[in-house]
A and B are shown apart, each in its own frame.
Chain A
Amino acid sequence: MSDRRAQIDRWIEQGAIGEARSGLSELLWAEGLSNATAAFSIARYEKLRPHIPLLAYRVAILRSFTVEPLVPMLRAAAFAHGLDLTVQVGEFNAYAQEILDGASALYRFEPQAVFLAVDTRSLAPELWSEFAEMTDPSGAAVVARVNQQYHDWVRAFRRHSDAHLILNTLAPPVRPAFGIYDGQARSGQYQTIEEVNRQIRAITRDYRGVYVLEYAALVARHGQENWYDERKWLSVRLPCAAAQLPRLACEWLRYLQPLSGRVAKVVVVDLDNTLWGGVVGEDGPSGIRLSEELSGAAYREFQRALLDLTRRGILLAIASKNNPADALEVLERHPGMLLRPHRFSATRINWNEKTSSLREIAAELNVGLDALAFVDDNPVERHRVRVELPEVMVIDLPEDSWQFATSIRDCPWFERLSLSEEDRHRGAYYAAEQQRAVLETSCVTREDFLRSLQQVVEIAPVNPATLTRVAQLTQKTNQFNLTTRRYSEQQIDELARQPGCHVLSIRVKDRYSDNGLVGVAITCDRADVCELDTFLLSCRVIGRGVETAFLAHLACEARLRGKTRLEGWFLPTKKNSPACEFYSTHGFQMVRSEPQGALWALDLEVQAPWPDWIERLTPTEARP
């Protein structure tokens, strides 16, 4: 174990950044997350920090129990998942004051996400150990009191902060006070706690940016008997046994990845010994393990986990070193396959390096390398990808194939906290894209192709039904994005209410599919200028005139409001080069250039023409 550590330190000394980072991921994988591996990794990640892609994020933890040993575990796991966390821990049991007082240390810290980590015995001891003595046997009073407290806290929090807030459900004690009678009683202890939890979930639905962590389910997943260590509660107020601390830290991380936007959009899988057991080139299609019985079931379960990801809007792709004919035979015809070829948005089955396959897949799907997650049973391939493509999220599969599905289901890079209609159907959009590519090659001119696409767009102000998707687009769109300003649902909602501010979305349909809501523009009027705060489009529709149509609409509206100029910044990032010529090709003049970007202006007396091959639908005729 010390050899691995010495090797990591040598790599750091030699400046072998990729190797050191890969070594740290392997250390956590091989030894597991503990206070020891966490402390070791944090010290090394802090040295590597300037050289590796990390996203800084600020988290506060308000708590009714000891969380100090959890903090290094959370930070170490976050580093391994591309996040550099600054964590502030609230005073012990002072969560109520901190959340209610707008001048508290909590709000001065300006967190981006806050966990309200409160346990049953602190918040409602009547529901934990004193249930049998309760004077109100229905439990209604305590349920109402807890519900009221949560309402007050969330309301106060929203007054003072626009950060994300994560509440947790209350876990029941291992054994109810009345034994088996608990289930027979009209309002037993478990049922009363479940009622509190039902109301906590209801609160999270009433407020934007407030989420629930199913703590009772987390405890149950790992077993109540194993979870608790009463001695640790009594001596140091730890909520669980030492062995369970990493599970709670990892559960927190599952929220921070989607909240910070550091998530995977595509999962690229290997085939042999990953999607099925065995090597098709050697064992033949009938010799591989893949069925609903025996050891093949582990691989089928893994495929099920991947299929479930597609319903969260995550695309599947293949990078395999194989003879294409052998692999396709299995993909198309093996009776045990759950994932048929049409489920994969990009496929690379060849003898090239995985790194070049990954680059090609990213280019084909129009996403950055940092949107890819890579799953392979071979540690050498994983190491190579980690070293050569540091942006790619590499998932370590365990030795035991029965745990493959779990490592997908537990992976924080695949978590989402909201899902739009677009997410559920993303795989189908990409299938339609492949048909469009076929049409494009058969059309003589670009114009013919654009006309034959029969595009219809609908531009509408943001509304409650589109708010989630609009915020999501501002957070996830990297390429065709002029300013890359990220907004939460809460912030979009506030912008839309501001006088002079307009938040618009654009929906695009064509002969192959409804692409859904794919673009956002935010404009703010000041004096005779209309300023473009945000202008972005999903890369799957760019280059078809949609951006020109969207601009024509904005210019026309601004003119109707009496504005004479449309101004906008181009703020360059590593990713948004596809948008860099947008202003210059649409009649804008550069006003000034600054280190962070350039300001452009369009004289509104000049018409910004609507592309005549795009039909427009007004929101009223579009849908009821």
Chain B
Amino acid sequence: MSGQVWEQVAGIAADILGVKKSSLDANSGPEHIEAWDSVQHLNLVMALESHFSLQFDPEEMDRMTTLGRMAEIVEARAGGTHAR
């Protein structure tokens, strides 16, 4: 996973979950972060889609259980090149 994609994914997650970016790592997920409920999860997925100009498949959304997985899926789909 490239540092550039991770930085952007973590920045978006920090905005949405209202936490410090430095407190997030690849294993961060709904179990560890209280604010990460199903509504915030959807907000996070939507934010990633619009930021990277992507549309995830439902199967990909199911696999997004941690921030690290999210960054991997973004990278596999876009290679991070579609970032604004």
Q: Which residues of chain A have a CB within 8 Å of any CB of chain B?
A: 1-2, 5, 34-37, 39-40, 43, 66, 68-69, 72, 229, 231-232, 234-236, 238, 241-243, 245-246
Contact = CB atoms under 8 A, between A and B. Distances in A.
15 contacts: A5-B15, A34-B50, A35-B16, A35-B43, A36-B12, A36-B15, A36-B16, A37-B15, A43-B18, A72-B43, A231-B55, A232-B55, A236-B42, A242-B49, A243-B49
8 A-B pairs with the lowest CB-CB distances in the bound complex, closest first: A242-B49, A35-B47, A36-B15, A235-B58, A40-B15, A35-B43, A242-B46, A36-B47
A35 B40 CA distance: 9
Contacts of A43: 18
Interface of B: 11-12, 15-18, 21, 39, 42-47, 49-51, 53, 55-58, 61
A223 to B, nearest CB: 15
Given A35-B16, A39-B16, A242-B45, 9 more contacts: A2-B11, A34-B47, A35-B50, A39-B15, A68-B43, A231-B55, A235-B61, A236-B42, A243-B49
Contacts of A36: 11-12, 15-16, 47, 51
A68 B39 contact: yes
Given A43-B18, A68-B39, A35 B58 contact: no
Given A1-B11, A37-B15, A39-B15, A229 B55 contact: yes
A369 to B, nearest CB: 32
B15 A69 contact: no
A542 B33 CA distance: 60
Nearest to B47: A35
Contacts of A234: 58
Contacts of B45: 242
Contacts of A243: 49-50, 53
User: Interface majority SS on A: helix, strand, loop or mixed?
Assistant: helix
Contacts of A69: 39, 42-43, 46
Contacts of B39: 68-69
B56 A231 contact: yes
A349 B12 CA distance: 44
Contacts of A246: 50
A454 B46 CA distance: 64
Contacts of A35: 16, 43-44, 46-47, 50
B57 A231 contact: yes
A5 B50 CA distance: 19
Contacts of B47: 34-36, 242
Contacts of A232: 55
B25 to A, nearest CB: 17
Contacts of B16: 35-36, 39
A242 B50 contact: yes
A492 to B, nearest CB: 40
A2 B42 contact: no
Given A2-B11, A69-B46, A72-B43, A34 B61 contact: no
A296 to B, nearest CB: 30
B61 A245 contact: no
Contacts of A242: 45-47, 49-50, 55
Contacts of B18: 39, 43
Nearest to A41: B15
A139 to B, nearest CB: 32
Nearest to B38: A68
A68 B15 contact: no
A426 B53 CA distance: 45
A231 B57 CA distance: 6
A5 B61 CA distance: 28
A39 B11 contact: no
Nearest to A234: B58
